[in-house]
Structure 1
Amino acid sequence: MIIERATADDLDALLAFRQEAASWLTALGSDQWQRPYPADRLLATIEAGVVFMVRDGSATAATITLTSDAEEGLWTEQELREESRFVNKLTVARTHAGQDLGGRLLDWAGDRAYRSGAQWLRLDAWTTNNSLQAYYLRHGFEHVRTVTEGGAVNGGPRVSGWLAQRSAMPSAVHGFTDLVSTGARCNEA
C-alpha cells in the first residue's frame, strides 16, 4: 500500500468515502458525521496539501488529514505554543477494516510530525463516540480534556471536543510506501 497526497481529482471519491463512513457510524448507533461535509472546505484542505490517501492498488483504503493548524477554541494558548500536528478525518474503508490501517496511519502521522520538529500529535474526537475514544487510547493517546461548549453554530455545544495527544515519535513500522516524502505521484487509476 502506498500513501500520497490527495489531489483535486480525489474530491468526489473522498466525499463518497466520508458518506460510507457516516453510514457505517449510523449503523453502530453514532450520530457522528451525519451532516454532509462541504465540498468546498474539503477541496481547500486538499489544495493546502494536508490530505493524504492510502491506496491499495486502485482502491482507496484510508485517508487522513494532518495539519499544523488547530481547530479554534479547543487548545489553550500554552498548548498552541508547543509545536504540534493535528490529525483530522482519519477514515478507513470498510473493505480494509480490521487491518489496523488506522493505527498504522497514526504511526505514519507521528513520524511525519516528529520529522517536522513537532513535540505532539494531537486530535479531537467526537464527544459521544466512546468506542473511537477508546481506540485512540489503545493507540497511545492520552485524554487531555473534553471541550463541550463553543461549537461552530452560535457558540452552542461542540460535537467534536474530546481532546487527546501523544508524543510525536519516529516510526519505520507503518509499512506504507511513502510517496509523500519523495514527492512522487502514483499513476494507478
Structure 2
Amino acid sequence: MIIESATAADVAKLLAFREEAAAWLSELGSDQWRRPYPADRLLATIEAGTVFMVRDGDVTAATITLTPDAEDGLWSSEELTEPSMFVNKLTVARTHAGLDLGGRLLDWAGDRAYRSGASWLRLDAWTTNAGLQRYYLRHGFEHVRVVTEGGAVNGGPRVSGWLAQRPAQLATVDGLVDLTPDPTTIQSANDVR
C-alpha cells in the first residue's frame, strides 16, 4: 500500500468514501457523518495539501487529513501555543477493516507531526461515538475534555467535540510506502495569510 497526497481528481472518490463510512456507522447506530460534506470545503483542504490517500493498487483503502490548523473553538488558547498537528476524517474502507490500517495511519501522522516540529498529535471525535473514542484511547491518545457548544451552525451544539491527544513521536510504519511531501515544508494556513 502507498500513501500519497490527494488531488482534485479524488474529490468524488472521497465524498463517496465518506458516504460509505456514514452508512456503515448508521448500521452501528451512530449518527456520525449523516450530513453530506461540502465538496468545495473538501477541495480546499486537498489544495492545502492536508488530505492523504492510502491506495492498495486501484483501491482506496483509507484517507486521513492532517493539518497544522485547529478547528475554531475546540482547543484553549494555552493549548494552541503548543506546536500540534490535528487529525481529521480518518476513514478506512470496510474492505481493509481489521488490519489496523487506522492505527498505522495514526502512527504515520504522529511521525509526520514530530518531523514537522509538533509536540502533540491531536484530534476531535464524534461526542456520541463511544466505540471510536475507545479506539483512540487504545491507540495511545489521552482524553482531554468534551466541548459541546460552539458548533459550526450558528454556534449551536457541537457534534464532534470529544478531544484527545498523544505526544508526537517518530515511528516506523510497516506496510505503507510514503510518497507524500516532506512534512517540514507544510505551512499552516495562518502562516501564509
Global fold match (TM > 0.5): yes
| Amino acid paired to 2:135 | Y
Give the whole-Å Cα distance in 1 for the aligned partners of 2:21 and 2:96: 12
Matches within 5 A, 1:117-136: 117-136=117-136
Runs of 4+ more than 2 Å apart = none
Give the whole-Å Cα distance in 1 for the aligned partners of 2:182 and 2:9: 20
Structure 2 residue aligned with 1:186: none
| Amino acid paired to 2:37 | Y
Contact 1:105 1:174 in 2 (8 A): no
Give the whole-Å Cα distance in 1 for the aligned partners of 2:162 and 2:175: 28
Structure 1 residue aligned with 2:27: 27
Give the whole-Å Cα distance in 2 for the aligned partners of 1:45 and 1:173: 24
Q: Structure 1 vs Structure 2: percent identity of aligned residues?
A: 79
Cα distance, 1:80 vs. partner? 0.3
| Amino acid paired to 1:127 | T
CA RMSD in angstroms, aligned pairs only: 1.1
* Aligned: 1:115 with 2:115: yes
* Aligned: 1:90 with 2:79: no
Matches within 5 A, 1:132-147: 132-147=132-147
Alignment deviations for residues 85-115 of structure 1 (CA, whole Å, 9 cap, x no partner): 0000000001111100000000000000000
Give the whole-Å Cα distance in 2 for the aligned partners of 1:14 and 1:174: 24
Corresponding residue pairs, total: 183
SS of residue paired to 2:72: coil
Cα distance, 1:181 vs. partner? 3.8
Structure 1 residue aligned with 2:103: 103
Cα distance, 1:182 vs. partner? 6.6
Give the whole-Å Cα distance in 2 for the aligned partners of 1:164 and 1:131: 14
Matches within 5 A, 1:149-160: 149-160=149-160
Structure 1 residue aligned with 2:71: 71
| Amino acid paired to 1:66 | L
